[in-house]
Structure 1
Amino acid sequence: MGILDSVFSKKKEEKGNEAAKTKPVEDADPLLKSGVRFYNDGNYEKAEFEFRHVLNLHPKHVEAHYYLGKIHESKIHGEDDFETMEEAMNEHQEAIKIDPAYLNAHISLGRLYVRSGFYEGAIRELEEAVRINPSSPEAHTAMGEALYTIGAGREVKVEHPSGMGATSDFRGAKEYFKKAIDEFNQAIKIEPSLAQKLQPLIEKASQRVK
């Protein structure tokens, strides 16, 4: 084999390797679109099949991980179904690991943390979502809902472990409600159509701030 033959052979091999690297992504696109269609139609079983097929071709496909997380969310039965909740969290965490700026995964993970009672993690994820896109009404809405839930939790009287009676943190609760109102108003400012959904929460939070 001559020098030119060797060079061309190497070039051809490199081109083939490059094509092999990009092919899974190309093959994944129609599967992803099909999965999203099934997901939007509520056919989660077929959607999950498509998304898992995508991940077989391209294990670090961020959207496939995100949608699998959403499908796991749909399977959560009650607030004590921690196993399914954890499966959903794992998929969203994987999506964030692949793309730290993937907004929807931060929002979904934050909401799951609220459901599980991990409020510190919820605020961390939702603050990051707002930082990534300050103009996202979904991020502000999710943050407002998280703050409202935390405030409501602090309002609830709980028995002191020592048996000395019930304790509560009304002052701390009011601060969370105030912040929740700010987030809801910001969401409405960005997306006025959210007013119908969020105004009742704003009114409830306002009553609790008094």
Structure 2
Amino acid sequence: MGNHFLATIALVALASSFAYASDPSPLQDFCVAINDPNDAVFVNGKFCKDPKLATADDFFFPPPNMPGLNIPGNTSNPLGSLVTQVNVEKIPGLNTLGISLARIDFGSYGLNPPHTHPRATEILVVLEGTLYVGFVTSNLNPGNRLFTKVLHAGDVFVFPEGLIHFQFNPENTNAIAFAGLSSQNPGVITIANAVFGSTPPISVDVLTKAFQVDNNVVENLQKQFWWDNNK
């Protein structure tokens, strides 16, 4: 009897973990996000407008007088890349739908540096050029395995949710990729920015011990300007 009870509890826990593995499934056709809380319902971190007032523009990008995803991003920055996000902040109708999009432009030898998406798996397709991409597993045994691939136009690669990953253009030409993400608001944590550019800064003693380097190295890294290539 006890074993059956424990098995039942384990199955319920497993089902619950699957149920919350990604954005919750909507219980309505849509829930267009608005900033005005008056007479609105709060769902998935956003207030939702009356569905009778929704229009096609709520599900459309770009807004008037803004460039669409056909326009290359400006890669003239220290990283040589730019990520143009199309998430719930850009398309209010994405609220509760559990999906978003990004265009990633790379200049010559441009890098989308190691980062994670805490709430989304990413699937990336290369439209133009060549990319060297990879992700690192968690530190469970066997830990921190690196998976890499060189992608060309038409190739597709998947980065599992929450894992550190990167994309690098190894050529002296431009590259373009599009990414789909399994969250309306996947979030992004750029590793170097978070570790060495936090406000206030992480204690030098903590970082010196974590990275096993001299404190002068850590202090120098904390003085750098860490560029955010997401817009």
Asked whether the two chains share a fold, i.e. TM above 0.5, the reply is: no
Normalised to the residue count of structure 1, the TM-score between the two structures is: 0.23
Structure number with bigger Rg: 1
Identify the structure with the greater helix proportion: 1
Identify the structure with the greater strand proportion: 2
